[in-house]
Chains A and B, each alone.
Chain A
């Protein structure tokens, strides 16, 4: 038992909690002091507290990591999230698989940002850090794991809890010091490189939303109503980029790993970060507007505060267990709902009260914004972004309404919309069209004051180009639905108008080009989304014409295709053939046939039956022992066009108890124009009883040809064995093995049944199965008189797999668009950071 490290970690947690409170208090005092010496004294204290706090956070992270890395399974966290077999790079993912670890990650990033702010923002340090430290205290309380004695109130859930305290298992009564030999393991779904970088990126994005929030409250508090915008803006831009990147990484991971057929599913968990991001983008725009024209100060404040509160709300939604049935993501409720609610309400009330108190004093311009000004259009765009977020927020919160009604004694049976994707898309699409149009138009008011005549002159060329490009796209890609036409038009328009701005800006000052580039990225994303989602089509249509349920008629579409091993079908213009089940070696890239390896006692290790190569490259020699991922099976599927191999796909099926037992991941054939996305809908059940059918008996001599279930077979030889694995041969014991060559569709196989006479009377027969062909051969008897051998032949249904395949046209435009967007963000952010440094 390694008690020390857990105790140490717990001490660090408590230290981080206490020091964050001390830092908040000291910064608060420092802020209120007029006496400079006293102020500096308090500041000094506050800084030291925050430094200790940050060290303690690092300490907590280190302790937890040591527990995971050293496999201390006496700790619940290590037991629940890790295992001995877990590859090193995924140890990091274990860290944030649990809720406690992800809180820790969040806290770590905020401490990191806090330290940077202390060093760079001396002027704003005290009021900003009060808010930082308070937020840190709230998050630290989530992992505190302390019971307040008199109230019997449990505060937080500690990641350092021992397994015996976390689990009620009889073994701990008998053997209190029991330590399991191995852990439960990390959900294999998360054993993916995206899951190593996606959560830290997302939580860094979360942490960034605190910066503008803290500056805004500090500004209100100090009555510096407008000065906070300048230092806050670059942080907001950086945060917007990182949060956006985090969301997109999640989407990309889902596209590659999950099987719902896309990158976005409108799941509550996705919505919970999408909404704050939209509002954050809106806030960036209003802040820029304020910097340029001193309008939209109040809206900037409201939006910046809303972003952080929405992050808290999303934390509450996803971690309190309130979503329950509404989400496919499984969250274990740690009983923190109350605490999370207090966290959210505290900052909500504090922000609203502070804003209400100061509202009258906040300067605002009474002058009417001209329709021919950039501000007007930006403001329209920002408003639309907020409505866009609002439209997602309202239905996502349905479980919350049910809960509230329940609390007041009512009964509510409201469920989320039955088809979430359709429901959200039909609204979001039009909002996106509006945002793109506003943004495209807004770009024409880049510098000058405009009037009607100038606008006409400026608009005419881009409008023409837009129309031409638009016409070309719809002609080539055959877009006809009105909604998609509108989206395509808006996407082209935003790209064209921003290209025009970009052209001008590059001549004047390339550093100002961030906005235009980011908007071009958005336009590409819209077009990419429109095509890849709107024109995604199932290509694995069942073309057998079999209708199982007549009552259901044609509506009961068949989107899945049943493939028997080596029986080609046609699909989406390809000949498609299932070639068998494969395993993935751990240390080499490639796949090995299941039939070419033999299991060992250790499920992670297998032995090569023969030399194994993959796509012409030798991987292993015969008898080599190597490691595999036992939970994953890959189904090799070959696509051919005009008898040429177009692609070899390896969709995966993962045995995954945490996700309900079974999880299919697609394999994607990426073409320039479209992706072919294929996943297994149902694999063969390995545990199902096999029906070997009727036994056929044949008598053959050596060299004689015969048929096994229509496959040509020949008995090549029968030899005497001197030893048999697992059985001792003595005296007169006889063991012979027949070698039968079977010609399959693609390969030659050997069946090697064994016939055994032990102690003169006992006869044993070890049948040999050729799994690929679904046949079994038993050596029944030897007839020395005629040199014949009796064989029993059995056949079963061939191996099969059911797949679903979809085509996603032009999805690459989306991915390229996201990269362009991020480049734009980076340029804009660099410019704004330079602004505060030179100011």
Chain B
């Protein structure tokens, strides 16, 4: 066998390995029920859950609690099926947190609590929210 053939085989093998590894490491968008099932089946990989903050009739966020030292907080997230879930996050509350329209939490269940490693906030976009201020 020629050396170039060996290299070609190695390259193809590496490419396939990369694709398989990506598929293995890719996360998924799920809802809380699926995430809970995954965790109870012993699958602790991080997953993405998209949801909205729980709000009262006036539109105020409810269930937002911060730790006494302000270094972490928890909140209630409603997923697409409107299932409520308390989510813990180990960072101080981002100042714009309560204003966000959508919250993506990346993390997993630890017992009955959902522990987020990372949260992404979808805030009202600059272009949608803003109205011309005729007075300015």
Contact with B along A411-426 (1 / 0, CB 8 A): 0011111110001000
Interface contact A682-B72, CB-CB below 8 Å? no
Stretch of A16-24, A467-475, A556-564, A821-829 at the chain-chain interface: A556-564
Interface residues on B, range: 35 or more
Contact with A along B39-66 (1 / 0, CB 8 A): 0000001111010000000000000000
Q: How far is the CA of A169 from the CA of B129 in the complex (A)?
A: 12
Interface contact B99-A368, CB-CB below 8 Å? no
Interface contact A556-B70, CB-CB below 8 Å? no
Interface contact B96-A560, CB-CB below 8 Å? no
Q: How far is the CA of A487 from the CA of B63 in the complex (A)?
A: 47
Interface contact B71-A802, CB-CB below 8 Å? yes
Interface contact B136-A380, CB-CB below 8 Å? no
Interface contact A180-B96, CB-CB below 8 Å? no
Interface contact A427-B21, CB-CB below 8 Å? yes
Closest Cβ of chain B: how far from A383's Cβ, in Å?
Answer: 6
**Count of A interface residues, CB-CB < 8 Å:** 60
Asked whether A660 is an interface residue with its Cβ less than 8 Å from the other chain, the reply is: yes
Asked whether B9 is an interface residue with its Cβ less than 8 Å from the other chain, the reply is: no
Contact with B along A80-96 (1 / 0, CB 8 A): 10000000000000000
Q: Which residues of A contact B21 (CB under 8 A)?
A: 427
Q: How far is the CA of A717 from the CA of B123 in the complex (A)?
A: 52
Q: How far is the CA of A380 from the CA of B15 in the complex (A)?
A: 15
Asked whether B38 is an interface residue with its Cβ less than 8 Å from the other chain, the reply is: no
Q: How far is the CA of A800 from the CA of B72 in the complex (A)?
A: 15
Interface contact A557-B90, CB-CB below 8 Å? yes
Asked whether A371 is an interface residue with its Cβ less than 8 Å from the other chain, the reply is: yes
Interface contact A416-B27, CB-CB below 8 Å? yes
Q: Which of A356-400 contact B (CB under 8 A)?
A: 368-369, 371, 376, 379-380, 383, 387, 390-391, 394-395, 398
Q: Which of A144-174 contact B (CB under 8 A)?
A: 163, 167, 169, 171
Asked whether B81 is an interface residue with its Cβ less than 8 Å from the other chain, the reply is: no
Closest Cβ of chain B: how far from A468's Cβ, in Å?
Answer: 32
Interface contact B47-A418, CB-CB below 8 Å? yes
Please name the residue on chain B nearest to A332 by beta carbon.
Answer: B127
Q: How far is the CA of A390 from the CA of B12 in the complex (A)?
A: 12
Q: How far is the CA of A398 from the CA of B74 in the complex (A)?
A: 30
Asked whether A548 is an interface residue with its Cβ less than 8 Å from the other chain, the reply is: yes
Q: Which residues of A contact B92 (CB under 8 A)?
A: 560, 681-682, 802
Interface contact A387-B46, CB-CB below 8 Å? no
Interface contact B48-A415, CB-CB below 8 Å? yes
Please name the residue on chain A nearest to B14 by beta carbon.
Answer: A387
Q: How far is the CA of A163 from the CA of B130 in the complex (A)?
A: 13
Q: Which residues of B contact A662 (CB under 8 A)?
A: 94-96
Please name the residue on chain A nearest to B107 by beta carbon.
Answer: A418
Most buried by A among B47, B94, B113: B94
Please name the residue on chain A nearest to B34 by beta carbon.
Answer: A413
Interface contact B71-A661, CB-CB below 8 Å? no
Asked whether A45 is an interface residue with its Cβ less than 8 Å from the other chain, the reply is: no
Asked whether B104 is an interface residue with its Cβ less than 8 Å from the other chain, the reply is: yes
* Given A181-B136, A544-B69, A682-B93, A552:B110 Cβ within 8 A: yes
Interface contact B96-A413, CB-CB below 8 Å? no
Please name the residue on chain B nearest to A662 by beta carbon.
Answer: B95
Please name the residue on chain B nearest to A174 by beta carbon.
Answer: B134
Q: Which of A403-461 contact B (CB under 8 A)?
A: 413-419, 423, 427
Interface contact B126-A658, CB-CB below 8 Å? yes
Chain B residues engaging chain A, CB cutoff 8 angstroms: 2-4, 7, 11, 14-15, 18-19, 21-22, 25-30, 45-48, 50, 67-72, 74, 88, 90-96, 99-100, 104, 106-107, 110-111, 113, 115, 117-118, 120-123, 125-127, 130-134, 136
In order of increasing CB-CB distance, the 3 nearest A-B pairs are: A418-B46, A682-B92, A661-B96
Chain A residues engaging chain B, CB cutoff 8 angstroms: 80, 163, 167, 169, 171, 178, 180-182, 184, 325, 328, 330, 332, 368-369, 371, 376, 379-380, 383, 387, 390-391, 394-395, 398, 413-419, 423, 427, 542, 544, 546, 548-549, 551-552, 556-560, 562, 657-658, 660-662, 681-683, 685, 800, 802
* 25 A-B pairs (CB sep. < 8 Å): A169-B132, A325-B50, A330-B126, A383-B7, A387-B11, A391-B22, A398-B26, A414-B29, A415-B48, A416-B26, A418-B107, A423-B25, A427-B21, A542-B69, A546-B68, A546-B69, A548-B71, A548-B72, A552-B110, A558-B71, A562-B70, A660-B100, A662-B96, A682-B94, A685-B95
